[in-house]
Amino acid sequence: MKKIVSILALIACAIQINAQSVTLECETSSSPISSGGSRDAADRRNYDIANCWGFGGVTYTNISPLSGSFSTQSGSATNLNPTSFWIKSPWFKPGSGNITLKTKLSSSSGSSRYLRLAYIPYDANASYKEGTRVDFYTHTFTINTSVVNISEAIPSAIANSGQPYKIIALMFGSGGSSRIMTDSWNIPGTYWADPSNSCYPLALIADADSDGVADDDDAYPNDATKAYNNFFPAAGYGTLMFEDLWPATGDYDFNDLVLDYRYNLITNADNKVVEMDGSVVTRAIGASFRNGFAFQMNGIAPNKIVSTTGPKYHGASWLNNAANGTENGQTYANIIVFDDAQKVLPSPGGSGTNVIPANGRVAPDTTNLVITFVTTSGQELQLSDFDLNPYIIVNQIRGKEVHLPNGVPSTLNNPEWFGTFQDDSKPNEGKYYKTKNNLPWALSIDSSIPYTHTTSDLIDAYLRFADWAQSNGTLYTDWYVNNPGYRDTNKLFIP
């Protein structure tokens, strides 16, 4: 049965301790660095608006404030229409006692000036949920600049009613130019507005699993252990493309292994990562090597993983996993997604798979992973802990890994390959899997893109890639998008 659970109990508890009155002091700035002058006044007004106070034709001023450094001031109150200038409190549940505030005129100019107090009941069907205003007090100013301390009882009709109300101060008058200033508001009652919900009254939220995340925001509304999906890429799939002749350079067709990927880091209501769902789509193999595919979770110890399901293994002799699915002997958690691409995506005949159109096409293969993480208090992982580092294991040689440029190798990588052939990795400088000219053996694109026919140079297919790379990523950042003039589709394998 779907429960309607409230966060109000928690909130009300806090309110009883902290907030038995609603106040307006005009002193708190919304800006961490106050600039001074009128901007400073505007920052304070904006802060109070963010906390659900409302102002009609009323600004803040630091000229002759009633208390502290700033007060409110109306425009010149020369109109007897009472709604010309107003200050409206947030929604609150009235207590008992007196509403107090300080007020004065900015000058002795004018024929008449008034400050009227009224309350506004909640009306679910009305604009802004505000019902019909009820006036209950009017102060008539003597035309001078003396400070007046107003103290008026909350009307018995609303005191301790348990219902939400607003208090509104209306400022009006005739003649002259003086403004009406106020400060140091104190309204007995319980603050009952939600600044994150258009300042409407705090309300029950539908939260079926009682995890504190509203069902509307909860991707798992009936599972208290999960709340949010965090996908990467945020939309669609990304593409990984590898050259596998490392440490020698190859033909730069970047199709020796082509994969699409997307993963979802699922967090709970405390923003801790409880599960990772990954999808790896093996699209093409433009090589004869029997390569494996894996990823390292940089910085995450293997014992942070509880279980792993979904990898595809075909009896590789070097496979050596722990019970939780991570590879043994590693400093950080490494997940072998599959041990042999040739078994995952067998060739239909001829050379390679899905790289020569004449050879026919094999449907891409999807490997779905589910990895669960520790949820012990103090041991949990956060989104910021995740830095995934994909790589291939070349031709069943476990120590021969090829990562994205500067991808840190796993503990089981054999460092003796570094610096041989065209590789210019320099572990002591943090340089990995790049040539002397900083060219990579693998690329990651955050969109799913077509890959090249076998032996077609990548820059012959993606016509803006070279401009992008040579500009160090400042030009043609969208080189992979299918814009006019960006691709030579004759060089791309497009089913």
Partner 1 sequence: MRNRKIIGALVILVMAFSSCLKLPNPTEEKPTTPVKFGEIKTDPNFNWTTTRIVDIEVLGLSTRTPIYNTFKLSTKDKASVFYQGKHAMSENIALKITIPAVLDSVLMEFGSIQKTYSVANSKVTIDYIINYPEEE
Which 395-414 positions form the footprint of partner 1 (CB under 8 A)?
Answer: 404-406
Q: Which of residues 29-88 bind partner 1 (CB under 8 A)?
A: 30-32, 42-43, 45-47, 49-51, 57, 59, 74-75
Q: Is 466 one of the binding residues for partner 1 (CB under 8 A)?
A: yes
Rg of the Cα trace of the chain?
Answer: 34
Nearest alpha carbon to residue 492 among 452, 462, 460, 454? 452
Q: Give least dist CB 11 to partner 1, A.
A: 5
Neighbouring residues of 377: CB distance < 8 A, sequence distance ≥ 6: none
Q: Is 270 one of the binding residues for partner 1 (CB under 8 A)?
A: yes
Beta bridge partners, 262, equal 279
Q: Is 469 one of the binding residues for partner 1 (CB under 8 A)?
A: yes
Q: Is 196 exposed, middle or buried (0-12, 13-18, 19+ CB in 10 A)?
A: exposed
* Binder of partner 1 out of 170, 240, 284, 459 (CB under 8 A): 459
Q: How far is Cα of residue 130 from the mean position of the Cα atoms in its chain?
A: 33
Q: Give least dist CB 251 to partner 1, A.
A: 9
Q: Are 364 and 283 within 8 A, CB to CB?
A: yes
* Binder of partner 1 out of 28, 142, 368, 483 (CB under 8 A): 28
The two counts, helices (H) then strands (E), for the chain are 5, 26
Q: Are 328 and 322 within 8 A, CB to CB?
A: yes
Q: Give least dist CB 493 to partner 1, A.
A: 17
Q: Which stretch binds partner 1 (CB under 8 A): 26-34, 313-321, 331-339, 348-356?
A: 26-34
Nearest alpha carbon to residue 269 among 302, 227, 238, 328? 227
Q: Is 431 one of the binding residues for partner 1 (CB under 8 A)?
A: yes
Q: Which of residues 233-252 bind partner 1 (CB under 8 A)?
A: 233-235, 249, 252
Q: Which of residues 323-382 bind partner 1 (CB under 8 A)?
A: none
* Binder of partner 1 out of 134, 245, 269, 370 (CB under 8 A): 269
AA letter at 490: N
Q: Give least dist CB 380 to partner 1, A.
A: 13
Q: Is 447 one of the binding residues for partner 1 (CB under 8 A)?
A: yes
Q: Is 124 one of the binding residues for partner 1 (CB under 8 A)?
A: no
Tokens 């033909």 belong to which residue? 251
- The C-alpha angle with vertex 257 and arms to 251 and 258, in degrees rounded to 5, equals 110
Q: Is 446 one of the binding residues for partner 1 (CB under 8 A)?
A: yes
Q: Is 129 one of the binding residues for partner 1 (CB under 8 A)?
A: no
Beta bridge partners, 451, equal 493
Beta bridge partners, 72, equal 60, 182
* Binder of partner 1 out of 87, 118, 213, 294 (CB under 8 A): 213
* Binder of partner 1 out of 114, 137, 232, 313 (CB under 8 A): 232
Q: Give least dist CB 492 to partner 1, A.
A: 15
Distance CA 182, CA 186 (A): 12
